[in-house]
Amino acid sequence: MLDKRMQDALNGQINAELYSAYLYLSMSSQFAELGMAGGRNWMHVQFQEELFHTQKFFDYVVERGGRVLLTAIDKPDQEWPTPLAMFEHALAHEGKVTGLINGLADLALELRDHATLQELQWFIGEQVEEEATADDMVKKLRLVQDAPAALYEIDKELAARVFTPPLPAAR
């Protein structure tokens, strides 16, 4: 059974993951408006990943005998001046999420909740990947600035991204 503090913190993380999904869906919409189908795809894949993370946290809370209590999701930003600004925002956002996950791990340690700490290890590793992926795109977009031909090539790269749900871990 989950400690009440851990249950509340995990419910907060479920809300944060849903907000992340909402944010990336908003970015996907702006890329579509810009005519950048690759950017739209990249952000839509990110949206799917965040929904997967939400479901993973949801299932864990339920599996541990806890109760998921959903709360309102904040409205995400709707406009960014450039594709680079969107990816800079995504990178900063993933850094914030990393902090939230680390806070959950700290709480699990404090509560001596080894099962939750083990579950969080997957998310800790996932955040390393999330930040690295966004950082890679920020670096590429900074290199090309607003050169249309270079943006076109980057957009083709962004179009190749595919959502592949991770295989369930054996317990």
Please name which of 132, 55, 140, 138 lies closest in space to residue 98, comparing C-alpha atoms. Answer: 132
Residue pLDDT, tens place only, 82-127: 999 999 999 999 999 999 999 999 999 999 999 999 999 999 999 9
Q: What ranges do the domains of the chain cover?
A: 4-159
Residue pLDDT, tens place only, 25-63: 999 999 999 999 999 999 999 999 999 999 999 999 999
Note if the pTM is more than 0.75: yes
Q: List the structure tokens of 42.
A: 């990249």
For residue 92, how far is the Cα from the chain centroid?
Answer: 11
Task: Report the CATH architecture of 4-159.
Answer: Up-down Bundle (1.20)
pLDDT for 169 equals: 60
* Helices of type H across the chain: 4-34, 37-63, 83-111, 114-144, 148-159
